[in-house]
Amino acid sequence: MARKRKGQPVHGWIILDKPEDMTSTAAVGAVKRHLDAAKAGHAGTLDPFATGILPIALGEATKTVSYVVDGVKRYLFTIRWGVATDTEDRDGAVTAESDGRPDRAAIEAVLDRFIGEIEQIPPAYSAIKLDGKRAYNLAREGKAPEMPPRMVTINELRLLEMPDTDHAVLEAVCGKGTYIRALARDIALALGTVGHLSALRRTQVGPFDEKSAISLDELRENMHVSAACEYLLPVETALDDIPALAVTDIEAGSLRNGQAVSLLRKADLDRIADLESGDTALAMANGKAVALVRYTAGEIQPVRVLNL
């Protein structure tokens, strides 16, 4: 006897404004339960103490998570000068202290060093795997893992305010894999002091920002699933940088069956005018997303079929 599937086939994105002191996994679980969704996942972990944009994919939207994870992120963060911690944030144990308190001019003078493609050593307390084990597990065991450096991209970095001599608030726009905790650590070291991340808020992930976000409290206030689903964004919202390609119902049927579709007729030239070999496109039929496809050698091949 087949096992009954739990939850309903809910498809789309909920852009959650994650509250403080909640894990990303717990946040996904709360949204999934509230919408009675069968399947859910998130696009980019936020540390428990962090707040802000946590895109949650439901149903077929989980097939597009990688496109959001690869998108640009924007963060507001606060550095606490003079105190270093083992986790490089406010939740860690103090490992070093310094009397150094940089002024505005000094901070602004070093920020350019961190813009562009830079080498960054990730925090020991991170989910990166080393020899099959998570770095944070090794760190908790007292094994102090040696973290290999990686290249990350920081597009923008600016000082916003200095509420007091111990703190500075900055904004960063960065690419995939950037650790803001490591950035705070390195800025402090460049200024001849130590520091850690005392506050972190993510305000953008790819196409999603605070304008489309909803808090857990707001979601809970909409007690009925139908009301909560009003906040559900279409699956294709995550794919705004991918060109759309109109297909016929017959072509859509072929793609859904995993079959390639030839686009070699003269009538197809306008449809593929903006595509080059190897490009990814979103096949659309009657205003509905059908599949992510790859254009090559005069045909489109389904990469991810969306069962909507």
The residues assigned a catalytic role are: 47
Identify the three-state secondary structure at position 62: helix
H-type alpha helices, 70-123:
104-110
Place of tokens 């003269």: 266
**DSSP 8-class letter at 147:** P
- Give 29-33 contacts, CB < 8 A, sequence gap 24+: 30/216, 30/219, 31/56, 31/58, 31/216, 31/219, 32/7, 32/56, 32/58
User: Which token pair is 26?
Assistant: 């717990």
Matching residue, tokens 């860690």: 92
206: nearest Cα among 83, 308, 70, 80: 70
8 Å CB contact between 26 and 14: no
Q: In what order do the strands lie in the sheet with 288-296?
A: 244-246, 280-285, 288-296, 299-305, 261-262
What is the distance between the alpha carbons of residues 41 and 53, in angstroms, rounded to a whole number?
A: 14
CA nearest neighbour of 46 among 66, 65, 27: 27
Length of the chain: 308
Environment class of residue 216 by beta-carbon count within 10 Å: exposed (0-12), middle (13-18) or buried (19+)? middle
Nearest to 228 by CA among 31, 22, 18: 31
**Are 291 and 303 a contacting pair, CB within 8 Å?**
yes
